A and B are shown apart, each in its own frame.
Chain A
Amino acid sequence: MNVFISLAAVVFLFLAGLLGAGAGLDALFGIVIPYIAIFLFLGGLIYRVMIWANVPVPFRIPTTSGQEKSLPWIKQSKLDNPSSTLGVIGRMALEILCFRSLLKNTKTELHEDGHVAYGSSLWLWLGSMAFHWSMLIILLRHIRLFIEPVPGAITFLHKLDGFLQIGAPVFYVTSFIFPIALLYLLFRRLGDPKLRYISLVNDYFPLFLLIGVGISGFWLRYISKTDIASVKELTVGLMSFRPVTPAAISPLFYGHLFLVCVLLGYFPFSKLVHMAGVFFSPTRNLANTNREAHHANPWDYPVKVHTYEEYEDEFREKMKAVGIPVEKE
């Protein structure tokens, strides 16, 4: 059910972009909606990040995943249980760049005789890395559509990504990896009963949306080629706040663009904010220095405690009887 709602929503959105632009609403789909999307994306993301940043971290609760720093002759696990800023940066960098925690992933199996077995399970890590990194490269490749002249680093990236030169146009490896990885993530979600059980529209919708973006982009590049010059006219126009809608742009492009706009607008209000959120996670980004340095709770308040005086008042006679020293005789 959740799957179909999500798929239908994405198909509908794509067609809306395609047909809308075909029906002469170029200005709406090429100018108004992109501006709204960018506004929602930036505004929403800043808003979300500001909320997190403004919520205090009352306690220092890193999830320690290795040996603490203690006696000088015991080797500390500096990345998994960092006690310095450098260690934390290392831990976070590995988490963000390599999805290190997913690398630990195991598959647990219960055998009939009660034996619990653990196997390493790296498909999620692989699929996830393939998807995220190819997306990043694709995004960077898009820079050539926005900036003139194209920076050297981006041109180099194109060369790298297109190393499998199979005729013209150049085939980029990421154009294939991106949708394949996404399809894997989708089928994984559908194939595993546990995952299907927990999956919401919130999970299928972004997958379909990204697949839609990927496939329509693929189409634009390799099958029904768009006029890059006109696209660039549009993007540069948008960026310089002198928007134009060049006539040579195909409706298919608007379908692609509309899906991207929906993605941008949806991003800050959905689980996709994990991109920013991962940096804020207190179980990962704090050093394990609890006993070494004081960590203050900004909203700390006094609480009712049972003082020693009250305690002694209740038990004084008993204490004296057995010779435990007391404050008040």
Chain B
Amino acid sequence: MTMAKFDEPGYYKHEDLLKVDYHPPRTGWMDTPVDFRPGTYIYPGKAKNLKYLDLPNPRNWAVTDEDWKLQENWKEIVLDGMAERLRRYRTFRLFMDICVRCGACADKCHFFIGGGDPKNMPVLRAELLRSIYRKDFTALGKILGKIAGARELTYDVIKEWFYYFYQCTECRRCSVFCPYGIDTAEITMMGRELLGLLGLYVNWAIEPVANCFRTGNHLGIPPHGLLDTLEFMVDDIEEATGIKVDIPMNKKGAEVLFVTPSGDYVAEPGIQTCMSYMILFNEIGLDYTWSTYASEGGNFGLFTSHEMIKRLNAKIYAEAKRLGVKWILGGECGHMWRTMHQYMNTVNGPPDFLEVPKSPFTGTVFENARSAKIVHIMEFTADLIKHGKLKLDPSRNDHIRVTFHDSCNTARGMGILEEPRYVMKSVCNNFFEMPENTIREQTFCCGGGAGLGTDENMEMRLRGGLPRGSAVKYVQEKYGVNQLAAMCAIDRATLITVCDYWAPGVKVTGISELVANAMILKGEKKRTKNLRLETIPGAEEEDTAQGNIEHLETIEGMHTTKGGSSNE
């Protein structure tokens, strides 16, 4: 047996990770330097990526280096950058001024809960920046210095920022509980922008950004590669359903442009989610198109800078215009929807050349998207189901006992909570909610959002994933839950690790996959395989719900009662 390395979950013993010491160290936080322990920090952005994007100070360096090769005048750059942002963002200025350090946010952050490092309390994460603000931008801080909570901007402060602003997944859970709505994600975004001015990025975010700028998607898939990928999926769809679907690609004059995160092009369960979109669109006969240029709905610019959000996202409306579509439909993703919902219309809009989205099948006008002209796949699907436009056999999903992970961005940056639940309950007979402190607006991050989902950050991912993992384990033990649905590409990648570690036996799925498996398609063959090309339990012999439940009980050896917290 080979020993696991720090970038593998097996390296970490459960009992070690669970020994969380919530007692702060003896030294005050200003006097406690960062400990760059492998497994808790992310590798720096490579020079070639910064160069490609024309970002400042491209060079290769290592986090553990003494010298991070900053510009001569790094201090001035940071302070000027702060001054500029304080003039531009009311959030930044206000949040620097009004925190009362009541601590209501302290134990709301998954990284603090799972790790106990006091600087992962949202309030202290913000203080890392606020202390510099006091020193250089407030009267009392200038006069009284440390007594007024101010401190000098030093090289070590920069290192500390780099560590802790990349230990925040910008999930905004803290801001739900803060009496003033102070959003530490916003402060993290400012912190990361300031670091960016010094050429300090993490490669796991900036490489996708560079890829995305060039090829249209984070993974760097070129146009012919994308077509290839989708063609593979078409074959798998045919194998599972007997139906051959089309791939409309860069098709001018289509009614709808479909964009989805590139996570859906690779690896299970992303690809099944992607196949499911194709099945759905084919079945209802949607006149749509994919785009190789707008082949990414996600936007790692959100984890980089406001400017980068705009640079990457410009392609979406540009492509909609070039192809002459009427409106845009977006796939299952979290941070993509924070961008599409809260930023896109401002940074790249308004897209007056598009039409107010209207479902060609139900006639529903999506009033809430009347200006941005982009509709969420769950809004679209819920509307179809409500109008009886899909033929569904939920019993095909009876071997699945599913719970739902609200993604941070869609929950707290949009509020799409009921649509996915309605869809899931329409296609699954066994739906169970996790405890109420861990869902909806109080949902917990997967631990790997905002550019943190890389393997070298494994310890932090497992720690940050603990609250979610614990909630999954709870419903697994209580209701026999065996699948966790999430409408987010990052979740579909990172929650696999989290579940394997904290709630082994629970698989991760996209919601659309559940829909496509339950859909009775025109001319389909007898469905014995699901989209993962696994045999559907019970499908061979008998197709009744009863049979499936019994099957489940025998294979899982679990006592399962229906209902319970299943939220109607």
Contact = CB atoms under 8 A, between A and B. Distances in A.
* Binding partners A and B: yes
Contacts of B102: 102, 124, 128
A254 to B, nearest CB: 25
A64 B414 contact: yes
Interface of A is mostly: loop
Interface in A63-115: 63-71, 73-75, 77, 80-81, 83, 95, 99, 101-102, 104-108, 110, 112-115
A148 B98 CA distance: 36
A281 B182 contact: yes
A303 interface: yes
Given A64-B411, A281-B180, A116 B471 contact: yes
A274 interface: yes
A83 B415 CA distance: 11
B533 interface: no
Contact of A308 (B23, B293, B306, B466): B293
Q: How large is the interface on A (under 10, 10 to 19, 20 to 34, 35 or more residues)?
A: 35 or more
Contact of A281 (B94, B343, B438): B94
Interface string A286-305: 00101111111101100111
A195 interface: yes
A140 interface: no
B323 to A, nearest CB: 10
Contacts of A290: 341-342, 345-346, 372
Interface stretch (B244-252, B259-267, B396-404): B244-252
Nearest to A306: B213
A71 B415 contact: no
B190 interface: no
A292 B97 contact: no
A23 interface: no
B93 A193 contact: no
Nearest to B216: A311
A288 B250 contact: no
B249 A65 contact: no
B386 A71 contact: yes
Contacts of B18: 110, 112-114
The list of the 4 closest CB pairs from A to B, nearest first, reads A68-B415, A64-B415, A277-B98, A283-B181
Contacts of A99: 179
Interface string B148-161: 11000000000000
30 contacts: A57-B91, A58-B88, A63-B412, A68-B415, A70-B366, A71-B383, A73-B386, A74-B422, A80-B415, A102-B102, A102-B177, A108-B108, A110-B18, A110-B20, A118-B437, A124-B104, A192-B103, A195-B106, A198-B127, A200-B149, A202-B148, A282-B91, A282-B94, A288-B415, A291-B370, A292-B372, A294-B345, A308-B322, A315-B224, A327-B322
Given A60-B342, A293-B371, 14 more contacts: A70-B368, A80-B415, A101-B179, A104-B177, A105-B104, A110-B20, A124-B104, A202-B148, A277-B94, A277-B98, A290-B372, A311-B293, A318-B224, A319-B223
Residue from B100, B114, B471 with most neighbouring chain A CB atoms (10 Å)? B100
Interface of B is mostly: helix
Contact of A297 (B215, B311, B346): B346
A48 interface: yes
Given A58-B346, A71-B383, A315-B222, A48 B97 contact: yes
A104 B240 CA distance: 46
B467 A57 contact: no
Nearest to B127: A198
A118 B435 contact: yes
Contacts of B366: 70
A321 B369 CA distance: 37
Interface residues of B, number: 122
A74 B86 CA distance: 39
Interface stretch (B118-126, B425-433, B540-548): B118-126
A67 B113 contact: no
Interface string B99-136: 11111101110000110001001011001000000000
B100 A197 contact: no
B307 interface: yes
A327 B252 CA distance: 11
A63 B172 contact: yes
Contact of A61 (B91, B213, B322, B383): B91
Contacts of B256: none
Contacts of B392: none
Nearest to B307: A303
B310 interface: yes
B223 A318 contact: yes
A35 interface: no
Contacts of A60: 342, 346
B214 interface: yes
Interface string B369-380: 111111000010
A150 interface: no
Interface stretch (B268-276, B313-321, B448-456): B313-321
Contacts of A114: 14, 18, 466, 469-470, 473, 502
Contacts of B364: 71
Interface stretch (A12-20, A212-220, A224-232, A265-273): A265-273
